[in-house]
Each structure stands twice: as C-alpha cells, then as structure tokens.
Amino acid sequence: MSVATQEATPAAAKPAKKTKRGPEHRPGLNRWLPYLLLAPAVLAELLIHIIPMLVGIWMSFIKLTKFFIANWSAAPSAGLNNYKVALDFNNAVGEGLLKSFGVTVAFSLITVALSWVLGMAAAVALQPPFRGRGIIRTFFLVPYALPAYAGILTWNFMLQRDTGAVNHVLNQLHLSDGRTFWLIGSNALVSLITVATWKLWTFAFLTLMAGLQSIPGDLYEAASVDGAGNLRQWRNITLPSLRPVNLVLVLVLFLWTFSDFNTPYVLFGTAQPPAGDLITFHIYNASFLTWNFGTGAAMSVLLLIFLMIVTGAYLLVTGRRSRRA
C-alpha cells in the first residue's frame, strides 16, 4: 500500500509548479487560485496515499493477527516486536525478508539497466526520419498499451515447459533441448527480468524519444562539420542534453521495478519460486498467507524507509552534481 507513494510524488509536484505562473493582475484571486487548484490533488493524495500510509504505520505497531482482524481496536500493542521479527535475520521470517530483498535489488538494477539501454537505443535509432518510422514507433508502444495482466499472462503461457512457445522456438533453433523450466528454479529470475523489461522499456523509450526532440538539430550539424562520429555525438551531445530527463527517468524506473507486484503475482500465481520472490510479493504473502498483518505492515514500513533513503540520497547526489556542472 504505502509502497506506491513514491511514484506519485514527482507527478503530483509538476502541476504545482505551473500554477505559480498564473495571471498576475488580479491580486485577490491570485492569492487563492494556487490553493484552489491544488486542493483536489491534495485531497486525493490524502485519501489515496497519506491516510492508508498512516494506517499502515499504525498497523505495524499492533499485533494484528487472525485473532483480531474482525475487531482491530481490540488488537494489543506489539511495540517494536513486529520490527524485531522482520529484522531478526537469524530467524526464518527475517531471513526470508533479507533474501527477498537481495533478489529485489538484483532484479531492479538489471531491469532498470536493460530497460534504459533498450529504450535509449531504440529512441536514438528512430530519431532520423525514414519511411516506416511511425509504424515502428507505434509497434514499440504495444507492451505499454497492452493491459498488464493480459501481457504477463501471455508470457506465462509462453514460458511453460512442455507447451510454451519459448522452449519450442529454442528447440527448433537447436539452442536447447526444449526442456528448460522457466518459471521454477533459478531461471525464474531470468524470466521475471525479461517480462518486467518487456513491460518497462517502452516507457524509457517514450520518455527518451520526447527528450530527444528538444535537442536542437544544429548542434549535431556543427558536430558533424567538426568531424565527430555517431558515437561521439551521442556521448557529447545527446547524453548531456538528456541529463535532466535521465535523472527523473532512472529514479522512476527504479521505484517502479522495486515495488513491482503485478509481474510476479500474475507470472507465478500461487506457486512463486524463491528466485522470483520480489519484496512486495513477499510482504503480501507474509501478510495474507499467514494472516499476520502487523508483521506485514512492519515490513512495508521498512520498505518505505528504504525507498525514501534511496530517493533522498539519489536526489542529493545528482542535485549536487548538476549544480557543480
């Protein structure tokens, strides 16, 4: 629940900036207009994010097991006990959480890197106009336009061992014996990264493509006159010009992948393998399968704190660097 909070913050902040540039000539209205315009967003934010988050934090300090879920107010205080259980790495629950955290970090880093590289490559490749460019661009957007559930379920069918298309194709190409398990065992992480990247890279592509439109063409012309090759142009013009876009893009991609729930949930169903045990899914299982919502909430709060620290550190470091530049 509270995990999703991070995503919305950059988006919600954008309209706020715009409203400041409102009309200057009517002082009365001028004073209230920003608040008026912000009000629906603030209210929605409060309802959808802040209040559930506060409830989640409260839940993490009570003993909310199956004995009390029918009457929450009767649940005794757990103090810091839920956190102790989640953070005791010598114990099965804490150890499971730590492993899941490791899997999630690896998954996020690889998925974000792949998505960014693919998105960047496609955006740059489709920058110069050529016949059929529009069609290819549209084609690339399909994973983004497809409902997530349908897309991931299709992957689930394709990754089956005996009947899946992936094994069939690999077998036909003599790349494998066609008997690989993709959804259980250690390959599960590979499958998860593939599906998540497939889902995510178009967003990177779309964002970078938009960013590329704002780079003036004469910069490239001047560079060609100076004799810079394509790679040099990319490194010295494209990359620095896209820096502000990249800063936001990478952060958003990271937060999305780190708190990805749909992909493992739909891809693995109830039979999730340890190698694909992403943290939000892990927390869901910890709460709903064992009916221990207090510990689940404590894990969520820990995740929230972690993501806040990462985001804060990221913004601090990148912000300092851009000021220096």
Partner 1 sequence: MRLRSFVAAVAATAMGISLAACGGGDKNDSSGGGSGGDQTLTYWASNQGTSLDNDKEVLTPVLQKFTQDTGIKVNLEVIGWNDLQTRIQTAITSGQAPDVVNIGNTWAASLQATDAFLPFDGDAMGAIGGKDKFVPTALATGGKEGTDPTSVPLYGLAYGLYYNKAMFAAAGLQPPKTWEEMVTDAQKLTNPAKKQWGMALAAGSYTENVHFAFINAAQNKADWFDKDGKPTFTGDGNVQGVLRYLDLMQKDKVANPSNAQYDNGTKSVNDFATKKVAMVINQNNADSSIVANGMKAGEYGVVPFPAPSGAEQVASHVAGINLSVFKNTKHKDAALKFVKYMTDAQTQTTLGKPFSSLPVLKDAKPVFTTDAAEAATFQDVYNTKSKPLPLVPAEDQFESTVGKAMNSMFAKIATGGTVTADDVKAALKTAQDQVAAGS
Q: Which residues bind partner 1 (CB under 8 A)?
A: 43, 46-47, 51, 65-67, 69-72, 85, 91-93, 95-96, 160-162, 181, 183-187, 269-271, 273-274, 285, 288-292, 295
Residue type, 29: L
CB 115 within 8 A of CB 197: yes
Which residue, 31 or 235, is less far from partner 1 as judged by CB?
A: 31
Which residue, 162 or 226, is less far from partner 1 as judged by CB?
A: 162
CB 135 within 8 A of CB 321: no
Sign of the torsion angle spanned by Cα atoms 72, 77, 83, 84: negative
Which residue, 138 or 186, is less far from partner 1 as judged by CB?
A: 186
Query: In whole angstroms, what is the distance from residue 311 CA to residue 301 CA?
Result: 15
Q: How far is the CB of 199 from partner 1 (least distance, A)?
A: 22
Q: How far is the CB of 266 from partner 1 (least distance, A)?
A: 12
Quote the strand ranges of the chain, DSSP E: none
Q: How far is the CB of 244 from partner 1 (least distance, A)?
A: 32
Which residue, 53 or 118, is less far from partner 1 as judged by CB?
A: 53
Which residue, 185 or 312, is less far from partner 1 as judged by CB?
A: 185
DSSP state of 76: P
Q: State the CB neighbour count (10 A cutoff) for residue 11.
A: 10
Q: How far is the CB of 142 from partner 1 (least distance, A)?
A: 27
Q: How far is the CB of 164 from partner 1 (least distance, A)?
A: 10
Query: In whole angstroms, what is the distance from residue 297 CA to residue 300 CA?
Result: 5
Which residue, 207 or 272, is less far from partner 1 as judged by CB?
A: 272
CB 264 within 8 A of CB 195: no
Q: How far is the CB of 91 from partner 1 (least distance, A)?
A: 6
Phi then psi for residue 62, to 5 deg, are -120, 165
Query: In whole angstroms, what is the distance from residue 208 CA to residue 73 CA?
Result: 50
